[in-house]
């Protein structure tokens, strides 16, 4: 078990406190997702599933690596959602089967974001879309906060200094839309298409 999985297993009970700060962005994120035509959707790293109620249209396959987070997610599970314990960096799905892949606050905590996005590319159908909600280090005063915090952020198993351009496999996607969220442009929604 990776140190990161161990971390989420131990601190799953505290996640609702973190979630309070993430809720407003998630509403905007899922609002974008709900505009999409009905499709086969994979969400990687569902966490405690507190956002499942925000999905309105799709058939959802959710995966999560941490047993504790997954057990809580199962309590929030609805009829349109199937859940599996799985590592997003080694997906146990065939190629080209999902219309949409969703990563909500997952890429900066994954052990290897490059592997994670490579798997997203593999399982997406051609023209399929990858939706990412995350913090990305902005070009304002917050880059200094990220730099300072980066030294200790490894204890929280996240990368505070984080740039999407550092993930090389994104070159194989087409960036279709970027929504910069207030305040301070710290959080962004990125929508990529698989060519």
- Using CB under 6 A, list all residues that contact ligand SAM: 8, 19, 22, 44-47, 63-66, 69, 87-89, 104-106, 109-110, 116
C-beta of 106 vs 191, nearer to ligand SAM: 106
Least distance (Å) between residue 19 CB and ligand SAM: 6
Least distance (Å) between residue 32 CB and ligand SAM: 14
C-beta of 65 vs 99, nearer to ligand SAM: 65
C-beta of 101 vs 106, nearer to ligand SAM: 106
Least distance (Å) between residue 8 CB and ligand SAM: 4
C-beta of 14 vs 141, nearer to ligand SAM: 14
User: What is the Cα–Cα distance from 60 to 89, expressed in whole angstroms?
Assistant: 19
C-beta of 104 vs 170, nearer to ligand SAM: 104
Least distance (Å) between residue 7 CB and ligand SAM: 8
Kindly tell me the sign of the dihedral angle through the C-alpha atoms of 102, 75, 47, 52: positive
User: What is the Cα–Cα distance from 18 to 8, expressed in whole angstroms?
Assistant: 12
Question: What burial class does residue 43 get, using C-beta atoms within 10 Å of its C-beta: 0-12 exposed, 13-18 middle, 19+ buried?
Answer: buried
CA 53 to chain centre: 17
121, 193 contact by CB (below 8 A): no
Q: Which of 102-128 are b and which e, b meaning 16 or more Cβ less than 10 Å from the residue's Cβ?
A: bbbbbbbbbeebebbbbbbbebbeeeb
Least distance (Å) between residue 90 CB and ligand SAM: 8
User: What is the Cα–Cα distance from 49 to 73, expressed in whole angstroms?
Assistant: 4
Tell me the residue nearest to ligand SAM as measured from the CB. Answer: 47
């Amino acid at each position: 078990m990776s140190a990161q999985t161990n971390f989420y297993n131990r601190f799953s009970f505290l996640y609702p406190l973190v979630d309070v700060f993430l809720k407003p962005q998630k509403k905007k994120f899922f609002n974008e997702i709900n505009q999409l035509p009905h499709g086969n959707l994979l969400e990687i790293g569902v966490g405690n599933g507190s956002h499942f109620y925000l999905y309105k249209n799709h058939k959802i396959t959710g995966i999560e690596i941490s047993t504790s987070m997954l057990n809580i997610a199962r309590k929030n599970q609805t009829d349109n959602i199937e859940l599996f314990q799985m590592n997003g960096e080694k997906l146990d799905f065939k190629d080209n089967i999902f219309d949409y892949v969703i990563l909500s606050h997952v890429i900066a905590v994954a052990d290897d974001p490059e592997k994670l996005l490579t798997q997203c590319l593999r399982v997406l159908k051609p023209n399929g879309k990858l939706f990412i909600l995350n913090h990305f280090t902005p070009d304002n005063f917050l880059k200094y906060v990220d730099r300072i915090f980066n030294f200790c952020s490894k204890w929280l198993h996240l990368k505070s200094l984080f740039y999407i351009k550092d993930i090389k496999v994104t070159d194989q996607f087409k960036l279709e839309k970027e929504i910069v969220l207030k305040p301070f442009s710290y959080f962004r929604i990125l929508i990529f298409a698989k060519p």
